[in-house]
Structure 1
Amino acid sequence: MAQPNVRPVGDLNAALESLSGRFHNRLSTAAAVREQHGHTMTWHRNQPPDAVVFVQSADEVADVVKICAAHRVPLVAFGTGTSLEGQVNAPFGGISVDLSQMNRVLAVHPEDLDCVVEPGVTRKQLNTELRATGLFFPIDPGADASIGGMVATRASGTNAVRYGTMKDNVLSLTAVMADGSVIHTGKRAKKSSAGYDLTRLLIGSEGTLGIVTDVTLKLYGIPEAISGGVCPFETLEGACNAVIATIQSGIPVARIELLDEKQVAASNAYSKLSLAVTPTLFLEFHGTASGVAEQAGLFGEIAAEYGGGPFEWTHNAEERNRLWQARHDAYYSAVQLRPGTQGVATDVCVPISRLADCIMETKADIDRLGLVAPIVGHVGDGNFHVSLMVDTEDAGELDRVNEFMERIVRRAISMEGTCTGEHGVGHGKMKYLDAELGGSVEVMRSIKRALDPLNILNPGKIVRV
């Protein structure tokens, strides 16, 4: 349940009365609906809102915000609920604004390589609708997340090494601010030097500064040729060093993903693969037929130097899609390694030159602490994830998990990396921001106070005010 002892001063009943008159059967206070909207995919405690309102337009979002601002009631924006650091939880109660019904692709401009979508559009839905244009949107976090949620957490995914993250692929936004006003952060031009970059201020803000109601995205042409495959390695360190050498060599790899031996075993069982149970890289190359063949050949030579191979690759779309679906299902496959436990997903990101050091030290911690924790990663940009399978009823194990979480984050920061490569901060990683960013956190607080003086937009996330 919500925590009344820390609820901001506000008149919830008056807000609910106004919202009920405006939204009728699209306002729910049912326990099951509330719990779904306070749900998180990891071990953070469920903190349900007091009510959920299902909005269908930007005007309706503005109306909800105005009502909540008038009565000083917190709001939490909700997309698909796949965030991993407690971003959609409601620690102060209030209203969850469910944006899933705002799921229209508003415009596609093939000649300009961009499109405009509502926040509830999911990445798979968008690419399905783009297929006939010969274009695609490349950002692909493991879950079929909403575009609005991906903007909120500054998400990335397997293609980030070539195409960047959400911050690189959003041209502009429309957002409802904390007073109910609506702003447009830019136009469709590919570049601009007109004033503060409000687009990137809102990207990664996790609904604490405004609620996004439409997004203008960059698109890319579907490559002429795509090849992909797997490369096993004798050691985890060898796989990491092959990644570093590949990136430093300038090979324009589109995807390069690491699975340690525990994750390979889990994926074999869950996704019906037949890979050798050893550290493995999944790769994909985009370009012309001759170009991808050359890239694959160059990678094969590098892999051999670090104890890797044979590198088996294919142009066959069905085989490639099967591999990448297994990679996207890594979390669900890992959960099967220890039935009855709770999955705890975390990630860090370091400069590519420190990748091997960070992963090997993390692996040593896993072994020393006796944890079941497969490692996977978008290692081409120095980002990797650990999925811990935790018995939350075992106090001793919880202590070891907390020690592990502290050590992996401190290690990444000491290597000039970050406590979160793509999961965002939420309330799960708030405590690490001071160590990573120092005085910048106070600047963030100042921005939050200026744009949301009543502290009603997703309070208790990213920074404390």
Structure 2
Amino acid sequence: MAELMEMPRNDEGIGTAVALLKQRFAERLETGQSIRDQHGHTTTWIETQPPDAVVFVESTEEVQEVVRICADHRVPIIPFGTGTSLEGHVNAPAGGISVDFSRMDKILAVHPEDMDVVIQPGVTREALNTYLRDTGLFFPVDPGANASLGGMAATRASGTNAVRYGTMKDNVLALKAVLPSGEIVKTGNRARKSSAGYDLTRLIVGSEGTLGLITELTLKLQGIPEAISAATCSFATVEDACNAVIMTIQMGLPVARIELLDALSVKGVNAYSKLDLPEQPLLLLEFHGSENSVKEQAQTFGDIAEDFGSQGFAFTTKPEDRNRLWQARHDAYWASLALRPGAKGISTDCCVPVSRLAECVTAAQAKADELGLIAPVVGHVGDGNFHTLPLIMMDDAEEVARARAFVSWLNDLAISMDGTCTGEHGIGQGKAKYLMGELGEGALTMMAAVKRGVDPFNIFNPGKILLSDV
């Protein structure tokens, strides 16, 4: 099997770079085991591979200094936001330096009249929206975790609002990044569209720190809706729920959020978040607009859902009720873990054309049952994206093998349906072996050529995305 495109460990270079960075950054360069483990930590099954040191940067110029020192000594650099990624993105397979962006957390400029904002990469989505509240604007991309916006851009994150507002690739107007050479690249200005040369913004968005370290982002904002309503709707089967989603999207109903929880996920959410939802497949929705339009949208969805045997449809405009429901949805990962105490969650996602959604989700449930796996399902199903979370006892080698086989099977199934092995988790280490089947040799050869052209010594987040045989 092909291996990830890695570099051999360079102990001499790492030692020299750590010493030089310690001279420059003093107490902001840390080498303690616990903080190194934290910066190699992953919330899924992939083994932690810690860096040799962590440096806390505070400006673009400091990022340049770190890059130049590491480049001189051929030392890997791994960017770190908040550590919420799920595919081993922050691991350091060849050691090296973790660059922690948490102190680059300034909001540099808000332009309400243009509905955009300029920020440093360490700003989290919750901090940004708290800051923007009085402007009547908000940033819509919501992956659930309070991730840093630099990390969200690097992994091309999306989440619950993507069906209406798009993903990070749709909401980053421009960025600044430090390249492996130590040079700074600016990919655009604040204009809403441009045909000026290669689209470097979207080349770096989703590149997972393998091409550049993002030090500034210009993001699109949206107006806070006049009215918001949330709705819950239960169904007898996941297939019925998915078919209601398909019809909703095909009819052009402008839902802001439409989330699926299977019966197992609802059971976990009820216990964890103290709710009393019916323990059967559930759609959780949100509608944005004027007071009249959100009522009309909810009523229209209710009519659609009724055609698929909906049960217990209800909606609310009370902020406290909405917030409670969405907080429960965002806590679904932890709620699912509580279904099997002591288990590790192997979180994986895929995305298919909406017309294939019901088929793919029901096949995934059947396969998990066949393999004897407890695997709750949740999904941002308005755009065909869903997640499964096999709950595995990691000391049971046979069970781990079954879970790995399930994840591989599901990725292959999604690709066979003209979908993708990852709707929003990114590639990192965990999904790299599926890229060839999804995109083909030509695409991977081109990616590898870009990587070698920008980063000839492979020091930026090595061992992620690309395999060694391309």
Correspondences of 1:224-243 after superposition (within 5 Å): 224-243=226-245
Name 1:443's counterpart in structure 2: 446
- Contact preservation (8 Å) 2:231, 2:298: no
Distance between the aligned counterparts of 1:423 and 1:85, measured in 2? 7
Distance between the aligned counterparts of 1:282 and 1:408, measured in 2? 24
Distance between the aligned counterparts of 1:150 and 1:216, measured in 2? 13
> What secondary structure is seen at the aligned counterpart in 1 of 2:311?
coil
Distance between the aligned counterparts of 2:292 and 2:445, measured in 1? 51
Correspondences of 1:396-411 after superposition (within 5 Å): 396-411=398-413
- Contact preservation (8 Å) 2:7, 2:463: no
Q: Is residue 250 of structure 2 the alignment partner of residue 219 of structure 1?
A: no
- Contact preservation (8 Å) 1:235, 1:307: no
Distance between the aligned counterparts of 1:36 and 1:68, measured in 2? 21
Distance between the aligned counterparts of 1:444 and 1:328, measured in 2? 33
Q: CA deviation at 1:310?
A: 2.8
- Contact preservation (8 Å) 1:61, 1:176: yes
> What secondary structure is seen at the aligned counterpart in 2 of 1:11?
helix
* Aligned-partner residue type, residue 452 of structure 1: D
Matching residue within 82, 93, 104 for 1:80:
82
- Contact preservation (8 Å) 1:117, 1:215: yes
Q: Is residue 456 of structure 2 the alignment partner of residue 464 of structure 1?
A: no
Name 1:142's counterpart in structure 2: 144
> What secondary structure is seen at the aligned counterpart in 1 of 2:177?
strand
Name 1:258's counterpart in structure 2: 260
Matching residue within 264, 289, 292 for 1:290:
292
- Contact preservation (8 Å) 2:261, 2:377: yes
Distance between the aligned counterparts of 2:172 and 2:354, measured in 1? 25
Q: CA deviation at 1:370?
A: 1.1
Name 1:183's counterpart in structure 2: 185
Correspondences of 1:20-419 after superposition (within 5 Å): 20-419=22-421
Q: Provide structure 1 residue ranges, at least 5 long, that are not aligned to the other structure.
A: none
Q: Deviations over 1:210-243 (max 9, x none)?
A: 0000100000000011011200111111000000
- Contact preservation (8 Å) 1:286, 1:292: yes
Distance between the aligned counterparts of 2:106 and 2:407, measured in 1? 39
Distance between the aligned counterparts of 2:419 and 2:224, measured in 1? 32
> What secondary structure is seen at the aligned counterpart in 1 of 2:144?
coil
Q: TM-score, normalised by structure 2?
A: 0.97
Distance between the aligned counterparts of 2:78 and 2:213, measured in 1? 9
Q: CA deviation at 1:365?
A: 0.6
Name 1:422's counterpart in structure 2: 424
Distance between the aligned counterparts of 2:169 and 2:43, measured in 1? 24
Q: TM-score, normalised by structure 1?
A: 0.98
Distance between the aligned counterparts of 1:63 and 1:6, measured in 2? 23
- Contact preservation (8 Å) 1:9, 1:72: no
Distance between the aligned counterparts of 1:69 and 1:77, measured in 2? 15
Distance between the aligned counterparts of 2:228 and 2:250, measured in 1? 22
* Aligned-partner residue type, residue 235 of structure 1: T
Distance between the aligned counterparts of 1:399 and 1:173, measured in 2? 41
Q: CA deviation at 1:46?
A: 0.6
Distance between the aligned counterparts of 1:303 and 1:464, measured in 2? 44
Q: Provide structure 2 residue ranges, at least 5 long, that are not aligned to the other structure.
A: 1-5
Q: CA deviation at 1:464?
A: 3.0
* Aligned-partner residue type, residue 145 of structure 2: A
> What secondary structure is seen at the aligned counterpart in 1 of 2:272?
helix
- Contact preservation (8 Å) 1:136, 1:222: yes
* Aligned-partner residue type, residue 376 of structure 1: V
- Contact preservation (8 Å) 1:10, 1:73: no
Percentage of pairs with the same residue? 61
Distance between the aligned counterparts of 1:392 and 1:56, measured in 2? 38
Distance between the aligned counterparts of 1:27 and 1:132, measured in 2? 37
Distance between the aligned counterparts of 2:12 and 2:457, measured in 1? 10
Distance between the aligned counterparts of 2:191 and 2:12, measured in 1? 42
Cα 1:162/1:431, change in 2 over 3 Å: same
